[in-house]
Amino acid sequence: MRPIVQISLDLTNIDEALETAAMALRAGVDWLEAGTPLILAEGLHGVRKLREAFPGIPIVADLKTMDGGYLEAEMMAKAGATHVVVMARAHAETVKCVVQAGRDFGVKVMGDNMVCPDMVAGARWLEDLGCDYIVHHIGYDERRGIAAQGLRMPSPMDQLREVVEAVSIPVQAVGGLSLEQAIRCPEYGAPLVVLGAPLTIDADAFKTADGDLEHSLRLICDAVHAYGN
């Protein structure tokens, strides 16, 4: 699979999300993600607006589904999502329901291994249940809580190679990555690179002299896509 850049629209206003999405696509981003904050704030309306504005662009609905899997996936598919996210800590029947809905409505299923006691085993389990992609994920609260104790903040990079080697489906790493780490994900065999939005561009990396975010994103996309050449 060629490297893909996905921007997570972790925003709470659809107008801001649409503006950011348009800028990201101009810069070379491949997939849009209706991040969990946007899903909570705008719901199906937000996904519909993204689909209306950007026909033909893959849209990931980061539902973090834990129950009611078939209905959630069906609703998002009908609103225009092409990918939905189900959690590994959900019951196996919930994962199966999301997978079945994915088949029935033509959407791909991303299985998220966040807070699995064994992240590698969780990824393998999600694949066995029929997920199309793995989201290898260290959660926001988990990272912050551990760091607040003065301990090293965990990173999805810690076990990324092991997760990639354990499954035969594409993997993305999510959770506190620096831009440099995100760009290197294809080196680890994880071709789906996720960039959070709003973005903080590292002044020592991809920030241009005039602070042009679109140009900075273009540099990032070019660096990721270069792995596919």
d(CA 133, CA 222): 23
Pairing of strands 59-65, 83-87: parallel
Note the pTM of the prediction, 2 decimals.
0.92
pLDDT digits (tens, 9 = 90+) for 118-156: 999 999 999 999 999 999 999 989 988 998 999 998 999
For the cut 50, the answer to whether the pLDDT of residue 215 exceeds it is yes
**Dihedral sign for Cα atoms in the order 3, 9, 14, 16:** negative
Q: What pLDDT score was predicted for residue 197?
A: 53
Q: Which residues contact 205 (CB under 8 A, 6 or more apart)?
A: 179, 180
Domains with residue ranges and CATH for the chain: 4-228 (3.20.20.70)
